[in-house]
Structure 1
Amino acid sequence: MADNGATYDPENIFAKILKGEIPCHKIYEDEDTFAFLDIMPRTDGHALVITKEPARDLFAISPGALAKVMAVVQTLAPKIKEASARRVLIQQFNGAAAGQTVFHLHVHIVPRKAGVPMRPEAAKMADPEELKATAEKIKAVLEG
């Protein structure tokens, strides 16, 4: 998708996921945020936390909605770490030149293990059954 300005596209893939038009492996949802597994994960357990506010990036989101996204990242990251790895990488991109490919504000939680390299970005679709199993594992940790 081209980065063609500051207009929010209500038909971007994450907006479609929020509307239930595209399936995903959801791991968390509340009134303001939604979290699911990346279908082309850099590592096993790679999750995305998105806002339900129609915001392209960090510069377009309201402070309140951003605070809610980051609170969910702070809650989910240790649970994903517990389920998938010893550490996590948190990433958030703004604009095509910065690496953003979906123009709906989102934060990546990428589990990391020492000595295990990350896969290239958008290199390969994950097996749906593996994603389902990973999502269930993370949800079980969330439920305690």
Structure 2
Amino acid sequence: MLTGTIVFDLGEVYSIERLAIWQGQQVVRSLNRQVNGITLETSLDSAFTVSQAAGNFNVPLSASATHPVTHSVNDFDLTDTTARYVRLTITSNHGSTASTSLGEIAFAVNQVPEPTSALLGLIGSLALLRRRR
């Protein structure tokens, strides 16, 4: 079983809630290459000096391997976290000793409001209220 690590830089800090994984499309004889066990960690810094566990999951074999037209998604609920970086560690595949494959990955995120923007909005609102008096 081959393992590996992928680090995703989301570009800015988000509230990360869900993960979607599509297994790679393969012929039936190489199904065992599909990713099986994964762990996710999140962090605000790329070195992961401080990180939070976001979940451990097993990804089922894709239906697309036997039915190439169907490409099903596997949806996972993560431990809610706020981060910019996500580290996905593949802990196992479905049995291959030659390679491990993964199709696509997507994260469900929400923008995290900047505290300074909210504070500026509050100060502006207070100034308008004071001006009216």
Taking structure 2 as the reference length, what is the TM-score of the superposition?
0.30
**Would you tell me which structure has more strand in proportion to its own residues?**
2
Taking structure 1 as the reference length, what is the TM-score of the superposition?
0.29
Greater Rg over alpha carbons, structure:
2
